[in-house]
Structures are given as structure tokens and as C-alpha cells.
Structure 1
């Protein structure tokens, strides 16, 4: 049995000063009858009422103790389970090149990828998850963390105009993106390490080739799941002209062979998403494949157990009052 409000149990210390008052001062305040000499009553037997009078004190103490226990909210446990959560370390590597603005996924590739990734993160509260973004270059947007609220906020702030603003080069450096994600996992001590790489193009930038990065991942025991996003054929793309935006159809060129080779080299899987619905299904499939392992965490279902103590306190109080006004009634 446990107590939800343990601090109330300190009230039981009030019993000590009450007992001191009862033994030392209470008799001085009770009515007495003066007698010239009590020698004749020295050996007189005590009546049963006199012998039972301390029962009133015991009943009062019992009522106070039981009321304090009720206030402390005793609780019992009727079911126990032991389980441990050993999370998986996951790095998301997301393509943020300008081609991710294509609208073959709704509302566009980058927003669809962000939405589905955020749902994936929210569904894995025990995992360390980080985020790498890449275009012509790659950098870590968020290192691995279990603070998923902060991670999702950083994910939502990802934009495809970082190349246009001159922060990084435009293009698609798949090898650099994968290498950056792998570098974040190399010192991980988790039994399962995973990279989920999402891109809509072919490797055309960077100093590290995709297969070199895949070999590094394999040597470190990192599994890579690759996702190619984009419809087959051409995709509607917003192209800025002057102060306005015109839509053109761009060919979708995804290097499925390289993405497949990366996945097979690292014992992962390659997926192809031509619409937002398929992207949802892919992340759900990865979620099923990469389940967290269980270890030792205590879980129990609690029930309030104050009712017997409350009933006993009520009975003791009524009994004390009844004895006081009947058997132990005083007439001063």
C-alpha cells in the first residue's frame, strides 16, 4: 500500500502533545469533590466504569489516526508489469533542394515530407531522433534527442530557399547527406542504429559518393532506409519569373538504382513514393520494422483504498460519543 499525500501523515505527531496534556493537565480542569480524609477509601475496589474510562482516550486517538490516513489517500496495486524501453537511434536525412517544391505530392514534396516525418517522430517517444538536411551540401539541423517537441519545431522550420539565400549550394548531394547522418550515429551505443534518407533526385554534388557513405554506414552497423519521392514522368513546379510565379513541368529523375544499392548494402529497404498517401504508408512500414526493445520499467494500476479507514473512523467516533453521553456520562 502507498499513500498519494504522504505529507499528511506528519499530523500524527500531534498525538504526542495531546497525550502529554491528557496525562498532566486534564485532571486539573475536571470537577472534584473535597473530602476531609480519603483514608477509608484507600483499599476500596475500583468499579468497572473507572477501569474502562481510558477507552474514550483510545477511541479519540483512533478517530484522529484514521482521519489522517484517509487524508493521506492510501492506494493499492492490483496489477504489476515489468517492461523496459530501449530506444532506437534514428537520423532523418531530408533533401531540401529547390526541386522539393514540386507539387506532385500535396501540398508539395517538402511539406508532405515534413508532415509525415513529424507524425513518425511523435509515434516514437522512446527513441533518440535527429535531423540532417542536404541540398548541394549537408548539415545537421538537429542532433539526436528525445526532446521531440524541439525536434519537430526545427523540422517545421526547414525550408527549400536556403540555397537561394546563399546559405548552401543548390543541388543533390546524397552522399554528403548520408555521411552527415552516419557521423551522428557513429558514437551511438544503441543496439539498433537507423538512417531514413529521403530525396527526389540523383546525386550530382558533394565530395563523398553515395556508395562510399553506404559502405561507411555498413561498417558501423547502421541500417539505411531510402525513399525516393516524386511522381513518374513530370511534375508541376513553381518557377519564379520576375515578381510572379509560373508553373512548368519538370522531369522527375530519381536514381532508384543508387538508392536501392544503398539500402541493400546496409540491409535496409528502398521505397518509392509517388504521392502523399504512399509516403504515409512507407513511414508506417518502417515504424513496424524498427520496433523498440523492451526492458525494466515498473507499471501498476492504482486504486483508492481510503473507504475502510473512513468507515472505521466514523464507527469509532459514534462509539466514543455514545459512551460519553451514556455509560461515562459526567454530572458536575
Structure 2
């Protein structure tokens, strides 16, 4: 019960100052009335005093209850996200054979490139609180690892099962862009983004780059490209430039982490504007108490 009372908030808390004003006026702003001394009225004064105290209490309850009701007390039930106003993101990850290479993490040279990428992506995903995310992996062919979803826990678990060569050892980079576009083309999100990471030249795609770029621009999809170890920078830079994205290059785990941090800042969701806070309004209770007190007070006054 005590915890519940502590959870109560007011939409217009400044109105509660009216209570202090009322108490101040009741103590120091009393009207001066003439005093008449009538002997032998001791018998009536006790009853009158108790009646006045009760009426005064009713007056206080009426005014304080009304002010509290006007201040709009409420408790917070929960918060819901308006998810259509977020960003839909496809993480397109290279799982070709070259991602087995070691030495990308100077602090742990025995880690493969793809192990480092998985660790950083697993840190990136939970930061996109208000966004739909899909994961695509590409090698000789392309596979959608997860559809667009808000279920970050499931996505993090699926990443653990991804490995180099899961869809072949070659690099179908352009095909992965088209597959990512197919995922995003029917999205109603205000912003659609592909984050494409690769460490090698395309040697397996069946779709020309020009077609992929036309589709990306048709559906207004922005692409951020990340080149691992400065590979294939020309084509990745072309993709980013023509889709109004940005091109990056990473030669270490630290640099790759910085790139994902920068993309995270570039593509910010206005989370606070996408929330609806559900409230349980409580003004009825003090208002009902105030009205009942006022009715009783009027009845007693008329009875005198």
C-alpha cells in the first residue's frame, strides 16, 4: 500500500500549492466580526464548538479533495512503443571463407574476423531499442538469418549459431543487397537502412550492381558499407554514395566497434516521441470525497 502511494504522480503538481494558500488564509485572513457577551451560555458553547470543528473538517476535506482532483493524480501502468515510427535495419554480414582469417583483434590474435564481427553486432543490436532488425548472411549464396523483428533476444541467440561458410565460401555481395531490399521494400518505417559488411570482392552474385542500386533508390533505402581490411573499397563506396549512406573501413576490432557506434549515432530513433505512456487516473476518488463532504456541509449549515 505504501509503495502504491509512492507511485502516484500528478500531471499538474503546481496546483497543490493552492492547498497551502487555503491553509494560510484560514489561519491569518479571518473576517473580523463583532463580539457580544451573553451570560449563562456555557451549556451551548460545547455543542457548538464540536459542530464547528466537524464543519471545519468537512470544509477542509472539500477544498483539499477538489484541489487534488484538479492536480490530476495518476499511476503509470506501462509504456507502449509506436513501432512504425522507428527505423528498419538489415544487418548484412559476410560469411565467406576469408572471414576465417585471424589477427583482426590485436588483443586476441586467435579470434577470426567473423568472431569479432559477431561480438560487435551483439553489442549493437540491443542499442536499437525502438527498431525492427533483420540479419542477412552471404557467401556463395544469400540467407535471411532472421526476419524483421523487435525480438532482440532471439536475434542474439541466432547470431551464436552463425559461422563462416554457412552459405558457401565465395562472396555474393550484390545479391545480398537485393535480398535485403526485398526484406525492406514493403516496410512502413520512416527510415530504412542496410548495414553491409564485407571483406572481399564480389565473385558470386548473379544480379548486376546497377539493378541493385536502382532497387535501393526506388525504395529509398540507405546503405552504410563497412570494408574489412580495406578490401573492395571502391564498389562499397559507390553503393554508400549512391544511396545517401556512408562508407567505412576497419582494420581492427577497435575501429569496427567505433564504426558501429558512429552508425548508431547517425541513425537515431526518437524513442521518446515513439512512446505512449498508459496511465491510471485517480482524480475520481478525491473528487468524490470532496463532493460528499460538501453535500454534508451544506446539509448541516441549512439545518442550523
TM-score for both structures, normalised by structure 2: 0.62
Q: Please give the per-residue CA displacement for 1:266-318, whole angstroms capped at 9, x wherever unaligned.
A: 1112211111111111112212221224636468xxxxxxxxxxxxxxxxxxx
Query: C-alpha distance in 1, partners of 2:168/2:46?
Result: 99
Q: Please give the per-residue CA displacement for 1:197-216, whole angstroms capped at 9, x wherever unaligned.
A: 00111111132234422221
Query: C-alpha distance in 2, partners of 1:210/1:275?
Result: 28
**Partner residue of 1:172?**
171
Alignment of 1:1-332 (within 5 A): 4=4, 47-50=44-47, 86-106=85-105, 107-162=111-166, 168-230=167-229, 254-293=231-270, 295=273, 297=275
Measure how far apart 1:50 and its partner are: 4.7
Contact 2:97–2:168, Cα closer than 8 Å, also in 1: no
Q: Secondary structure at the match of 1:288?
A: helix
Contact 1:104–1:274, Cα closer than 8 Å, also in 2: no
User: Bigger radius of gyration, 1 or 2?
Assistant: 1
Q: Secondary structure at the match of 2:235?
A: helix
Change in CA separation of 1:4 and 1:210 when aligned onto 2, cut-off 3 Å:
farther
Change in CA separation of 1:100 and 1:292 when aligned onto 2, cut-off 3 Å:
same
Q: Secondary structure at the match of 2:273?
A: strand
Change in CA separation of 1:127 and 1:52 when aligned onto 2, cut-off 3 Å:
same
Gaps of 5+ in 2: 7-41, 59-63, 65-71, 76-80, 106-110, 278-304
Q: Please give the per-residue CA displacement for 1:66-100, whole angstroms capped at 9, x wherever unaligned.
A: 9xxxxxxx9789xxxxx988321110000111221
Change in CA separation of 1:109 and 1:84 when aligned onto 2, cut-off 3 Å:
same
The list of structure 1 runs, each at least 4 consecutive aligned residues, that deviate by more than 3 angstroms after superposition, is 3-6, 45-61, 74-77, 83-86, 296-299
**Partner residue of 2:13?**
none
Q: Secondary structure at the match of 2:89?
A: strand
Q: Please give the per-residue CA displacement for 1:149-203, whole angstroms capped at 9, x wherever unaligned.
A: 22222122211142xxxxx333110012111111110001112110000011111
> Which region of structure 1 is more displaced relative to structure 2, 209-218 or 264-273?
209-218
Query: C-alpha distance in 1, partners of 2:228/2:140?
Result: 18
Task: Name the structure with the higher helix share.
Answer: 2
Q: Please give the per-residue CA displacement for 1:2-25, whole angstroms capped at 9, x wherever unaligned.
A: x9359xxxxxxxxxxxxxxxxxxx
Query: C-alpha distance in 2, partners of 1:210/1:158?
Result: 26
Query: C-alpha distance in 2, partners of 1:225/1:93?
Result: 10
> Which region of structure 1 is more displaced relative to structure 2, 119-128 or 202-211?
202-211
Query: C-alpha distance in 1, partners of 2:274/2:227?
Result: 38
Q: Secondary structure at the match of 1:267?
A: coil
Contact 1:203–1:210, Cα closer than 8 Å, also in 2: no
Q: How many residues align?
A: 222
